[in-house]
Structure 1
Amino acid sequence: MRPPAPRPPADTVADPVLVLGAGPVGQTAALLLARRGVPVRIVDTRPERDAVGSKAICQQRDVLDVWDWLGAGTIAEEGLTWDTARTFYRDRELFSVRLPDPGASPLPPFVNISQSRTEQVLDHLLDEAGVRTLWDHRVTGITQDDDGVDVECATPDGPVRLRGSHALACLGAHGGVVREALGLGFEGTSFDDRFLICDIRADLPGWERERRFYFDPEWNPGRQVLI
């Protein structure tokens, strides 16, 4: 089933929903609101879309299903999936695990695709829906009252106050200001290991549906390599 065309906002709703964060989560939320005729505006701290790095590269079937309904089925079509996980120590295979797909859905269980490509596809749909993104707007404060919210932003031209019916925080690890205003924490742990991630297009016969993890490979000793 295809999604309905974006409906014009209802006349009784004057202020848009302010989606804070223009990553895939914010983009998807804005598209779902626009499909239901809710006025929406996206706010992001970056000066423009930065198509760099793999970032969030793994997308599960339930997410692919939402994107397919919105008209972004190409994400599932372009992404890579696998069903066999092989683990090696140097060049000796230790074990392998198969992840069979019961075939209950036409979509793959998950795909690997660069976040920059995902954002590119979703940006095209946002343009079609007439959803505007305010770039170079760093959220510095947020307050609410009975009628809506005020979001304070720092811009190259000075401070700006945005009025919205609601604010939807899609800022991930960078949403400290909003979480502090709501009294929310962001608990978790991190580690010091660093990984170099490369997106490479290659023909690897027999590897098309495999993920391989190497510990201390002879061709890159003392390191870990995930392909």
Structure 2
Amino acid sequence: MKKYLLTGLLVWLPLAVTIWVLGSVVGVLDGIFAWLVVAAQTVLPESLRPMLQSLREIPGLSVIVMVAALLITGVAVTNMAGQWLLNQSNRLFSNIPIVKSIYTSVKQVSDTLFSSSGQAFREAVLVQYPRAGSWTIAFVTGKPSGEVARALDQDMVTVYVPTTPNPTSGFMLMVPKADVIALQMSVDEALKYVISMGVVAPPASSGSSSLPPGGVSRAATPQS
């Protein structure tokens, strides 16, 4: 009986968690969409208010609106007029006290992580952490620069070591390039490995991943 219950739990648990997460996200988006509809009702003519109220009652419409808004925004900022408006908005937010510190920090991180030309999280590697002889998965985020690079006397790489099972928190380390071992697994496979606490291992015949400029060599030999 216990075996069958555990087997059934393993079958339904991933689906239940997926539905719960998606439902929570849609619920948050519906709440934001409802707030926008209420705000629009206060400024638009009274004849349009019943239509807005009917839109508010459609479940999941907020997801479609969000995707459409993202697509329209992406198309708009690809031309000169859109770039000018984006630069003006960035300048405005960068001059507002308190807001500028939050906005600038988030923008720098998002530009680094999601930019198509960026190199962050493009390669999974092995590093010795928290002590020599103990290994963990990390992600190359770049190379030290500026004053930090001048203070270091050897070729270093900057890596992010995620925590388990929550990879959104972790540690930034600057380690010698010779002490880092590059992995063939993709970043997605490495994240699954970290989140599952080593249970979901990627296949041994994982395809070779392309190394970013300044990345580590697969021939690197760890030094104790």
* TM-score (norm. length: structure 2): 0.21
**Larger Rg, first or second structure (1 or 2):** 2
Q: Which has the higher strand share?
A: 1
- Which of 1 and 2 has higher RCO (CA within 8 Å, sep 6+)? 1
* TM-score (norm. length: structure 1): 0.21
Q: Which has the higher helix share?
A: 2
